[in-house]
Structure 1
Amino acid sequence: MGHHHEHNHFEAARAGNKKALVLALAITAGIMVLEFFGGLFTNSLALIADSGHMLSDTVSLALSLSAIWFAGKAASAKKTYGYFRFEIITAFINGATLFVIAGFIVYEAIERFYEPPEVQGGWMLMIAAIGLAANGLSAWVLNRNADVQGNLNMKSAYMHVIGDALGSVGAIVAGLLILLFDWTLADPIISVLVALLILRSAWGILRNSLHILMEGTPHTIDAPEVKKRLLEIEGVLDVHDLHIWTITSGLNLFTCHIDVTVEADEQIVLQDALKLVHDYCGIEHATIQIEKPETVHHSLEV
């Protein structure tokens, strides 16, 4: 019953993520077009950079949406874990595109430091304000309806939108400085600051997604502590070949071998171990091999 409840909760969260992504995608794509042509019209790098970032966001939101669709496909004989990992691959791609966009912004900004062009601050300010309102709405939709903290795919999409909001704020500040002080260098300077903020969030997404792709232990689980608690179960002699990894956000797996005494009841030890893994790690999918002293197998590489 508990497993059925957790499965329903997992599916409900995915449905909320999908709905939020559709709304955010529609908003972001519309504002992307507005900011791009607005940047060309006003000659503002800050606006063009923000529209470029929004293009990246539109693609990333579409990728995140397709990842949810792929992850919903049933497992098969060749894909025994299904397609859940596609969400993490998408998160990694989204993180990488943030780096590319930030690099493009910095490159363009450097050129403008040497030859600052004329920028129409008033139009730039108005278009950036519209962009900020749209980004704020997208962020609100995602934060309200999607799991932007626990799901790495959703977090990468959310951080793209937040990066857009920062870009719009930067364009607004640059527009004000140009209007009030005719300081055209504000445009490339603020663009670089926005790029650095984008890089900061991109690094976290890349690091976390790569950790999952490398089958790393979830950050919320202390593997040595899990082993220590398993060793405290009556009849357990040793715990080895312990692995804890993540298929996709919210879906962790666990395997280990447990050596027990000759007198130990294997089924009781197994039940106690499964309960511990569930209660302490929150993992439903656990595979535990119980071994008595007469059990012999080759040493494992991992």
Structure 2
Amino acid sequence: MHDHAHGPGIRAASNRRLLAISLGLTGVVFVVQVVGAVLSGSLALLADSAHMLTDATGLVIALVASVVAARPANDRRTYGYQRAEVFGALVNGIVLVVLATVIAVEGVRRLIAPEGGEVAGGVMLVVAIVGLVANAVALWLLSSAQKRSINVRGAYLEVLGDLLGSVAVIVAAIVIVTTGWVTADAIASLLIAAMIVPRAVSLLREVVSVLAESAPAGTQVAEIRTHLLSKPGVVEVHDVHVWQLTRGAPVFTAHVVVDPDVLADGRAAALLSSLQSCLSEHFDVEHSTFQVEPAGHVEHEAH
């Protein structure tokens, strides 16, 4: 018996709307930062604008993946297209790693062989503050949805990195305005690169976990088995498998050995409903599949 109470339609539509708004904010700030980088001569601001461009690209990928993931299941894609979100997050993570490398190389080059150019700290400061405000708004918009979708989480992490990058640029701009030490600009660029790497690694680690069909983080299989065994009529629970299609979409299967009286009295359907309710209420598992077996049943497949 299966439980297909997914209901992701409304949530997916909300995610797409939030991604679209964040994309608009990111696009505007990117243009402002590019103009500001040209006017001020700031490498840090240029690096942050490149980061914003990557974020805009990531948001486009996330938005497209969200639309694809909303497509219904069919005979070829029996689970639907929710995995599209995971592949979108994978692309985001790879782009982040490439971006961090490029920024780090250019920052080191500036430190080793400074060009001696002037950096307009005032312009740099104003543009960085604009970026900070826009990133804070986008971060707030995505904060709730990123807890349920790995796809939105990828976009959220990129915006978070942008916000921290804006803070680094603001600090560098203040240093330049007050002391004239333009090397702070290159140092801020390296800090931006350093902030990108951990979140890229974190995102890629989660993507690998999903694609490897590992149990979701925090899922205790032994605890689930104990809950199921506590149901009257359940004798044994084995062949337990838990994985997730994407963040917030766990899938559960198990073989349940029941007392012969449960089958003889026609109570199997009620027991299955009880087991599925247990998973849904206690472990937030919406899709569960159980194979009910009488005591003494012999498995025909190899394990």
Pair 1:275-2:288 in alignment:
no
Corresponding residue for residue 241 of structure 2: 243
| Percent identity of equivalent pairs | 35
* Cα distance change, pair 290–25 in 1 and its aligned pair in 2 (3 A): same
Corresponding residue for residue 132 of structure 1: 132
Q: Which amino acid aligns with 1:274?
A: Q
Shift of residue 56, structure 1, vs aligned partner? 0.7
* Cα distance change, pair 139–235 in 1 and its aligned pair in 2 (3 A): closer
Q: Which amino acid aligns with 1:49?
A: A
Shift of residue 260, structure 1, vs aligned partner? 2.8
Pair 1:69-2:67 in alignment:
yes
Q: Which amino acid aligns with 1:133?
A: V
Task: Note if contact 1:32-1:54 (Cα within 8 Å) is conserved in structure 2.
Answer: yes
1:186-265 to structure 2, matched below 5 A, reads: 186-265=184-263
Shift of residue 300, structure 1, vs aligned partner? 4.1
* Separation (CA, whole Å) in 2 of partners of 1:230 and 1:173: 55
> Mind listing any 5+ residue stretches in structure 2 that lack a counterpart?
none
Corresponding residue for residue 90 of structure 1: 88
Shift of residue 150, structure 1, vs aligned partner? 2.3
Shift of residue 270, structure 1, vs aligned partner? 2.8
Q: Which amino acid aligns with 2:152?
A: M
* Cα distance change, pair 292–60 in 1 and its aligned pair in 2 (3 A): same
Q: Which has the higher contact order (CA 8 A, sep 6+)?
A: 2
Shift of residue 81, structure 1, vs aligned partner? 0.8
> Mind listing any 5+ residue stretches in structure 1 that lack a counterpart?
none
* Separation (CA, whole Å) in 2 of partners of 1:184 and 1:64: 37
* Separation (CA, whole Å) in 1 of partners of 2:167 and 2:63: 27
Shift of residue 245, structure 1, vs aligned partner? 1.4
Q: After the TM superposition, which segments of 4 or more aligned residues of structure 1 sit over 4 Å from their partners?
A: 3-6
Shift of residue 128, structure 1, vs aligned partner? 1.8
Q: Which amino acid aligns with 1:178?
A: I
Q: Which amino acid aligns with 1:33?
A: V
* Separation (CA, whole Å) in 1 of partners of 2:222 and 2:295: 23
Task: Note if contact 2:69-2:80 (Cα within 8 Å) is conserved in structure 1.
Answer: yes
Q: Which amino acid aligns with 1:252?
A: P
Shift of residue 4, structure 1, vs aligned partner? 9.7
Corresponding residue for residue 108 of structure 2: 110
TM-score scaled by structure 1? 0.89
User: Alignment RMSD, CA only?
Assistant: 2.2
SS state at 1:148 partner: helix
